[in-house]
Structure 1
């Protein structure tokens, strides 16, 4: 506990600017060079084809990193552009996992892209294209993996594949995750004729790569084969990068000196770095990796890509990497002109102030003009419209505005206006009906103005906040590499919160349980249908449902406002005679089977285990009670989520909280009281249940607690 408190104290100091990061650049200060990408991306593979750099990465900050397959490209390693690649789906089902990509150029001039996927086993699948950005064609029309689960030995999970082309033209693959209890990384040779089959594959003995976890990466320095990999846990600050070396692609490997060479730094400004690749520029080497966000999202699944210099002492020895918020020195002269909005004054309709049991942090409007990908302006809540005004200080020529919204692969609807006096506004760009995602969004015009006003009107996904990493303004036009543009989405803008109580069920409203259904007095209406063993009882004058092994299921669909990252409140007056270590679901509203491994399951529970309060997937993402409510007493338990922070309150007092971004699957879900869609029955008494499609404040829920409190005689 002392260690955890010390960690939070240090990190808060860092992000309020009282501790200086490497090279005397604050992690949240203007112009910080790391992270290099404006968004949530992990497991980066960096390549250079021609004069363009590409970063292929896992799209993060969706449950279990199940975002779109995208690529970033740049000519100067500073200004990056995002593109959603066209990847054909499996014949049997659509896929959402595009994990840890790698790409190699074949001898035939074609490009071969490889992704991990765990929706149909944990396999590596391959694709081919004439271009580094696609469109892509499957290497196997029958969806046969390039590297299948259980290869090269039974039970081995085939993920995190990276390929290495040796000087003799042979291509070797290295893969494996959770290898510390799966027998070590695997290595094999890729068949160059098909580019879709492995041969001569074996496991590398564990002792040759001490303290491993995942993400093997092979490179060559002189005559030495350097097998780099990530160790410890990707979910917390222990994640790191290590290496071993050999005279052969197959080993045996000798653990290198200075391990781990990259790890969480002293001031915690680089937290949980790992799963990397390496860029070689002449005789210099650069390590490209991901680190956790701040404030940190639960489970470490909101990651960002960084780059730092990596130095070899000799062919088999890597120095410890010194991670720097400054980033690397400019390697290439950029053709992009001055951003005249850099450090410009800003105002906004609102901004989000995160207050929780872990953090006190503000998403300030000024973060939108600081040219720092670690910071963003975020509105106070996920309602729209919300606006941001940039004051350029004087009248200036404006020909291009580039806006980097929080999520690169989902569209935002917005408008840009300009003004000379901040009173009379003219339209610069009307994207109020936009359905095309992109980062940055590029809007060109030719005007003179002092003020720019961005108004965010709607978003593609439920619960997305109006939020901007950076807004950049230019007085002249310049070339955009590749000129790629995403296809418009066919999905209409997301449902917005009704700001209403959607469920209201109170036992005192019913005289008996002779009926099999009970009216929901909340705004969505419907009836709760009884199943299993439930009785209506009176305890010291308090009427309550006694759940033994039963459930009340609403016959109405779950509102679309609760989909994906939608905000919510679930409040229950409950008395639990005996608290179990698991199960004991009070309310659930998500289809656990909808997305398989990628599903985020939402429920309020009352148990003493890891998911005693907020239930989502497993111990890495669930939220337990800090202090489990006492058994045998009436408690008002409330779970809220505002789109950023999930909180659980017990009797009006905040008990625990965590940063989250959900991916709720509700299409086939039901609102269930007393159980989940997989059972996990609650056994005890429930007097009332209220649900809202927005997050109540502590003041609001305390008022609700008083209004609904069951009164004993």
Structure 2
């Protein structure tokens, strides 16, 4: 977890304001939402999504009225290595304290517990940090994930849990001691025959004596994800499969992959709070957003089908009555915006994506749309035209990632020519959403310029900007300040440039070949790497057991989501499943999209490996064996493209979360992935490249003087 300290800055909770009450309910990527009401305040605890296999900082969204939400990052004492806080649930104990439970698979798939005097923390471990519900509870090897707790009328406390339930034949349950909140008094198992197609995300509720066990089926990364339910007259069953199943599923247009929900009963109304995929559906299926719709009971054991809406709470008559958002529908311009064009994938229903992250998305009042610059290079500016000079008291901004800080400057103008500073946050280290700047002013134009970000390769991106006037109620919350430095910007340099053309035939000796890229240094070998003349080209020949290394580690500007281009002249006589050509990131704590390495193989990571089959890149057509090829992969922070001999081979939407590491040639560090073949030239850049630039690179580095590769 990132190191933070409590700030003296007050994060303001907005109770009657501009915030969107349509779907998605929250600005950002949040999955597995659990909604609670403690006293007169609503809380949404969720998996912080969109970061390294749902591994973002634990936070909570807080509201006084279900309409206007503020994000508060929570302080939590997590053991070293626990990178996920998946599918949290929180309940109030008999002692008046609050208990937070979450799943994690770092040391087996377990449920861990924490306790606090407040619903927002700080949280300290229960059970001496040991799992509250260990893997294998209820049934041998059953993953203890996605636990939801249920307190019966007699005070008995149960938890229902499990994932991959179809593979294990059902779902687990435990009865927990309600005094210490972690001792298991009884455990059991609900067979899949009673909860057909159950995969994960149990949610138990009770209506007039009937126990209703809701759950999700299908693949959470795809449009097959859906909510089902079964009912019983006992909390542990046996259960009867309900009517109208699935009650919430993809509609082919508005909602994709809805599921992993919770239910709020409030003033006689029932709300189902669930996640669905972002729009457009990001590759990997881990960029989910929280939505809310009406839940209707036909009788005590029958639930009507949920109608997913774009209006969300607006459709239920819940409307924000606070100050008018003067920026709603205003014209907006930007220094740039990203136009996403990718081929179809299983995440998009095999449909190609053509989507513009336009500046107007930041003023349309929707958490479904986002302005995003066309690259991670900073500064980037968004300018809003209010139509005429207006008076206002504050500007509120929802940046793309509430859990990361953005550094920015806000300027105002009456004529679009003469500008004055409204807020200077160019040294900001506080995350959260919305970010609030308050000062009385008059202006027609508002310009927000992002000057720095917390993570390398993080784009300037804004869900919504609101400009308001008038009094609002501001309860106080303290947000945390990051100790991280502002991220380094990509340099555009050629970091690695290695050629074997001047080497003599024979065994490659250590430090014989220099790196003429800006990282410098010489390569060293492990095993038997030889220099041979292959088809008139001097090349390093790898035997599948050997590799080369460059001790220099790429700069921090190559970390996280930073752009890169890697290009290699290579010949592979016998193509295996996955043979690594070049790696420059760490495989430690490898989660989805946390690794990047270039390959030449036939498998799902045959072109580029990223640590998870959901986001690895294969060749759409594997380069022909026993021929020289120029293979290049380039990444701009949003899409990754693989080129073979100057022609686009495959392309996909992607976001990375990598850590730079020792540069390996012909090896990933896993002996099973060692390369067997010939390499004549290697380049690695701290920038992305266009197709024209890739072709230029091919021509510039072509090892053949008067002929094309054979």
Query: Shorter-chain TM-score category?
Result: over 0.9
Following superposition, the deviation at residue 454 of structure 1 comes to: 0.2
* Count of residues in correspondence between the two structures: 675
What SS is found at the alignment partner of 2:546?
strand
Unaligned runs of 5+ in 1: 1-29
2:96 and 2:541 mapped to 1: Cα distance?
Answer: 69
Say if 1:119 and 1:597, in contact at 8 Å, map to a contact too.
Answer: no
2:432 and 2:156 mapped to 1: Cα distance?
Answer: 37
Q: Would you say 1:710 and 2:703 are equivalent positions?
A: yes
Say if 2:278 and 2:289, in contact at 8 Å, map to a contact too.
Answer: yes
Q: Would you say 1:478 and 2:469 are equivalent positions?
A: no
What SS is found at the alignment partner of 2:36?
strand
Query: In structure 1, which of residues 107, 110, 135 is the aligned counterpart of residue 94 of structure 2?
Result: 107
Aligned to 1:578: 574
What SS is found at the alignment partner of 2:115?
strand
Aligned to 2:115: 128
Q: Would you say 1:515 and 2:506 are equivalent positions?
A: no
Say if 1:591 and 1:677, in contact at 8 Å, map to a contact too.
Answer: no
1:15-54 matches, cutoff 5 A: 33-54=22-43
Aligned to 1:168: 154
Say if 1:400 and 1:477, in contact at 8 Å, map to a contact too.
Answer: no
1:140-159 matches, cutoff 5 A: 140-141=127-128, 143-159=129-145
Q: Would you say 1:177 and 2:163 are equivalent positions?
A: yes
Say if 1:400 and 1:476, in contact at 8 Å, map to a contact too.
Answer: no
Aligned to 2:584: 589
Aligned to 1:317: 302
Residue range with higher mean Cα deviation, 159-168 or 279-288:
279-288
Per-residue Cα deviation, 1:223-278 (whole angstroms, up to 9, x for no partner): 211111111111111111111111100000111111111111032x2111111111
1:65 and 1:312 mapped to 2: Cα distance?
Answer: 32
What SS is found at the alignment partner of 2:529?
strand
1:665 and 1:89 mapped to 2: Cα distance?
Answer: 21
2:469 and 2:225 mapped to 1: Cα distance?
Answer: 43
Aligned to 1:8: none
Runs of 4+ in 1 over 6 A off after TM superposition: none
What SS is found at the alignment partner of 1:503?
strand
Query: In structure 1, which of residues 381, 397, 416 is the aligned counterpart of residue 391 of structure 2?
Result: 397
2:627 and 2:81 mapped to 1: Cα distance?
Answer: 47
1:118 and 1:477 mapped to 2: Cα distance?
Answer: 46
Aligned to 1:539: 534
What SS is found at the alignment partner of 2:449?
strand
Unaligned runs of 5+ in 2: 1-18, 344-351
Following superposition, the deviation at residue 195 of structure 1 comes to: 0.3
- The structure-2 alpha-carbon separation of the partners of 1:522 and 1:491, relative to structure 1 and needing over 3 Å to count, comes to same
Aligned to 1:211: 197
Following superposition, the deviation at residue 337 of structure 1 comes to: 0.9
Following superposition, the deviation at residue 41 of structure 1 comes to: 0.8
1:394-433 matches, cutoff 5 A: 394-433=388-427
Say if 2:258 and 2:275, in contact at 8 Å, map to a contact too.
Answer: yes
Aligned to 1:187: 173
Query: In structure 2, which of residues 228, 235, 250 is the aligned counterpart of residue 264 of structure 1?
Result: 250
1:127 and 1:540 mapped to 2: Cα distance?
Answer: 64
What SS is found at the alignment partner of 1:486?
strand
Say if 1:354 and 1:362, in contact at 8 Å, map to a contact too.
Answer: yes
Aligned to 1:19: none
TM-score by length of 2: 0.93
Aligned to 1:75: 64
Say if 2:161 and 2:201, in contact at 8 Å, map to a contact too.
Answer: yes
Per-residue Cα deviation, 1:267-291 (whole angstroms, up to 9, x for no partner): 2x21111111111123321111111
Q: Would you say 1:502 and 2:489 are equivalent positions?
A: no
Say if 2:206 and 2:212, in contact at 8 Å, map to a contact too.
Answer: yes
Following superposition, the deviation at residue 31 of structure 1 comes to: 7.0
Aligned to 1:447: 441
Aligned to 2:676: 683
What SS is found at the alignment partner of 2:360?
helix
Following superposition, the deviation at residue 657 of structure 1 comes to: 1.8
1:37 and 1:246 mapped to 2: Cα distance?
Answer: 34
Query: In structure 2, which of residues 645, 650, 656 is the aligned counterpart of residue 662 of structure 1?
Result: 656
2:647 and 2:392 mapped to 1: Cα distance?
Answer: 51
Say if 2:270 and 2:295, in contact at 8 Å, map to a contact too.
Answer: yes
